[in-house]
Structure 1
Amino acid sequence: MYILIITIFDSSAAAGVEYVVSRQIFDSLPADEQRLWHSHAHEIKSGLWVNPRVPNALEKPELEQLAGTFGKFWCTWQVDRGDRLPLGAPALMVSPQVDPAAVVRPSLVRHRDDRYGFSTADLRAARADVQAAPQVQVDYWLRHRKGFAVDVVPHEMKCHAPFP
Structure 2
Amino acid sequence: MPRDQDDKLAQTEHDQYHSAVYAAAGEAQMSFTPINQIHQHLCGLHIYSHDPTRAVKAHHYCTHLRKDLHQCVIYDSDDKNARLIGIEYLIPEDVFINLPEDEKKYWHSHKYEVDSGMLMLGTKSLVPNAMTDVAERPAMLELHRTYGKTTHTWAFDQHPDLPLGPPQIMMAYTEDSQVDQALLAERDREMGVDTSTKRETRKGYLIKDNLERPPAEGADQIWSKGRKGQLEWVEQE
Which TM-score band (shorter chain)? 0.7 to 0.9
Do structure 1's residue 112 and structure 2's residue 192 form an aligned pair? no
Write the distance in 2 (CA, Å) between the matches of 1:49 and 1:29.
Answer: 24
Shift, 1:77, TM fit: 1.2
Equivalent of 1:9 in 60, 64, 75: 75
Do structure 1's residue 32 and structure 2's residue 130 form an aligned pair? no
Equivalent of 1:73 in 142, 150, 159: 150
Shift, 1:155, TM fit: 2.5
Where do 1:47-126 residues align within 5 Å? 47-53=117-123, 55-98=132-175, 100=177, 103-126=178-201
Count residues in correspondence. 154
Structure with bigger strand share is 2
Q: What amino acid is the match of 2:170?
A: M
Q: Which runs of 4+ in 1 moved over 4 A?
A: none
Tell me the percent identity. 30
Residue equivalent to 1:160? none
Write the distance in 1 (CA, Å) between the matches of 2:160 and 2:234.
Answer: 22
3-state DSSP class of the match of 1:31?
coil
3-state DSSP class of the match of 2:103?
helix
Shift, 1:79, TM fit: 2.1
Considering only aligned residues, what root-mean-square deviation do their CA atoms show, in Å?
Answer: 1.8
Shift, 1:14, TM fit: 2.1
Write the distance in 1 (CA, Å) between the matches of 2:163 and 2:171.
Answer: 19
Do structure 1's residue 135 and structure 2's residue 215 form an aligned pair? yes
3-state DSSP class of the match of 1:35?
helix
Q: What amino acid is the match of 1:94?
A: M
With the length of structure 2 as denominator, give the TM-score of the two structures. 0.60
Residue equivalent to 1:162? none
Structure number with larger C-alpha Rg: 2
Q: What amino acid is the match of 2:105?
A: R
Unaligned runs of 5+ in 1: 157-164
Shift, 1:134, TM fit: 4.0
Residue equivalent to 1:161? none
Shift, 1:104, TM fit: 2.5
Unaligned runs of 5+ in 2: 1-66, 125-131
